[in-house]
């Protein structure tokens, strides 16, 4: 579907994760002409099983949930193109043009749902197998409940690593903070808060981390000490793919999340943001709510 040779679309959705596909369902049901442009790297693909999505009390694997959401969008004849959008511009008439290589599409509105990326630790042996097995986890809001009573290591520097250690300690775990030589950057009151929560701090930075399916997580510290855990939480930060929207004038916070109004519209008229790339809690349920609000706002403007 090259837009230069076709009618103007009502809405382009850039991103095919939870937010983008929910927006597609809503706009499809509103009988609008919509297209999803998806790079194919939604964080849903990384989730071994989520148990906090309403309606799935036994949990559901992330890839299965993603495929179900794609099927849902297709029920309403919403096409999904697997392409990486590399340029987005606004035309003098207020419409938007998205480009992927030599292909281009034009629409009255855009929902920007490019999501976020967890920073992956380098040099962790068996990382991807551990992630698939649930030994490596990124989101304690999503799955901290599943780690109750376990030995949990949090890998991250002062700030994000400290906050995540405190959060996970609230689930009755044995939490050890692998502070990556940042302990001296922590104020005494914060160290006291860690002690009160029962969080241990490793005596030395990690030298080697290994994940073995069925055998837990092993951490060798620089001082030679060996530690064993059930679960590893990397707390190295998140990046938000806001570049194309920011280039048009959308305002972004320091971490890349886009600022939006009550209807999920960015500072650029007609450009909406939904899901993890928009300012809010990074959760599947939040992403679907964003998408419903943005899609309905666009429908009411058409």
Of 248, 278, 300, the C-alpha closest to 95 is 248
Pair type for strands 96-100 and 103-112 = antiparallel
Domain coverage including residue 154: 120-234
**Total Cβ atoms within 10 A of residue 198:** 11
- Does residue 1 carry a pLDDT above 70? no
Asked if the model's pLDDT at residue 286 lies above 80, the reply is: yes
**pLDDT number for residue 93:** 95
Half-sphere exposure of residue 138: CA atoms within 13 angstroms, side-chain side: 23
pLDDT at 4: 47
217 and 283 share one domain:
no
Tens digits of per-residue pLDDT, 49-102?
A: 999 999 999 999 999 999 999 999 999 999 999 999 999 999 999 999 999 999
| Alpha-carbon Rg for the chain in angstroms | 21
Determine the length of the chain.
302
19 and 102 share one domain? yes
Residue 212: per-residue pLDDT: 80
Tell whether the model's pLDDT for residue 104 goes beyond 80: yes
pLDDT at 246 over 80: yes
Q: Which of 150, 140, 106, 158 is nearest to 270 (CA)?
A: 106
Q: What CATH number should be reported for the domain holding residue 31?
A: 3.50.50.60
Do residue 9 and residue 95 come from a single domain? yes
pLDDT of residue 6: 54
Pairing of strands 80-82, 96-100: unpaired
Rounded to whole angstroms, the Cα distance separating 60 from 241 reads 26
14/88 same-domain check: yes
β-bridge mates for residue 258, sequence order? 252, 278
- Three-state secondary structure call for residue 141: helix
Residue where a domain terminates, one of 219, 234, 249: 234
Among residues 213, 234, 255, which one ends one of the domains?
234
Do 214 and 273 lie in one domain? The reply is no
Is residue 129 predicted with pLDDT exceeding 50? Answer: yes
Query: Which of 234, 260, 283 is the last residue in one of the domains?
Result: 234
Do residues 162 and 154 touch, judged by C-beta distance below 8 A? Answer: no
Quick check: 217 pLDDT over 60? Answer: yes
Shared-domain flag, residues 88 and 180: no
User: Which of the four pLDDT bands, split at 50, 70 and 90, describes residue 126?
Assistant: very high
pLDDT averaged over every residue in the chain: 94
Check: CB of residue 177 under 8 Å from CB of residue 227. Answer: no
92 and 68 share one domain? yes
CA distance 95 to 3: 12
For residue 80, the model assigns a pLDDT of 97
- List the structure tokens of 264: 């999920």
Q: Based on the structure, what is the number of domains in the chain?
A: 2
CA 158 from chain center: how many Å?
Answer: 22
Residues 60 and 106 in one domain: yes
Q: φ, ψ for residue 228 (rounded to 5)?
A: -125, 140
Same domain, 129 and 218: yes
31, 108: one domain: yes
* 194 and 153 part of one domain: yes
- 125 and 200 fall within a common domain: yes
DSSP 200-251: EE-SS-EEEEEEETTTEEEEEETTS-EEEESEEEE-S-EEE--HHHHHTT--
Joined together, the tokens standing for residue 45 give 């693909």
What pLDDT does 225 receive? 96
Q: For residue range 132-179, what is the model confidence (pLDDT) as tens digits?
A: 888 999 999 999 999 999 999 999 999 999 999 999 999 999 999 999
Tell me, yes or no, if the pTM score tops 0.85: yes
């Amino acid at each position: 579907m090259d837009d230069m040779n076709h009618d103007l679309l009502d809405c382009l959705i850039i991103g095919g994760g939870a937010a983008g596909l929910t927006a597609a369902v809503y706009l499809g049901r509103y009988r609008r002409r919509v297209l999803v442009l998806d790079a194919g790297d939604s964080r849903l693909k990384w989730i071994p099983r989520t148990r906090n999505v309403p309606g799935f009390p036994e949990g559901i694997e992330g890839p299965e949930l993603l495929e179900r959401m794609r099927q849902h969008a297709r029920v309403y004849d919403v096409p999904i193109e697997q392409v990486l959008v590399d340029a987005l511009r606004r035309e003098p008439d207020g419409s938007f043009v998205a480009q992927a290589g030599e292909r281009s599409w034009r629409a009255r509105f855009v929902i920007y749902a490019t999501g976020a990326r967890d920073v992956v630790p380098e040099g962790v042996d068996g990382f991807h197998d551990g992630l698939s097995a649930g030994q490596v986890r990124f989101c304690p809001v999503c799955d901290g409940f599943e780690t109750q009573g376990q030995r949990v290591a949090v890998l991250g520097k002062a700030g994000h690593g400290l906050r995540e250690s405190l959060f996970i300690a609230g689930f009755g775990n044995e939490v050890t903070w692998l502070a990556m030589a940042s302990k001296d950057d922590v104020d005494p009151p914060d160290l006291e808060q860690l002690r009160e929560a029962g969080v241990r701090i490793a005596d030395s930075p990690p030298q080697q981390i290994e994940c073995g399916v069925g055998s837990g997580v092993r951490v060798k510290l620089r001082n030679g000490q060996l530690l064993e855990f059930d679960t590893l939480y990397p707390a190295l930060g998140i990046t938000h793919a806001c570049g194309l929207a920011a280039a048009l004038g959308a305002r972004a916070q320091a971490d890349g999340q886009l600022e939006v109004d009550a209807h999920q519209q960015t500072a650029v008229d007609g450009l909406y943001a939904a899901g993890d790339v928009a300012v809010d809690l990074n959760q599947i349920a939040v992403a679907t709510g964003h998408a419903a609000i943005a899609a309905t706002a666009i429908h009411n403007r058409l």
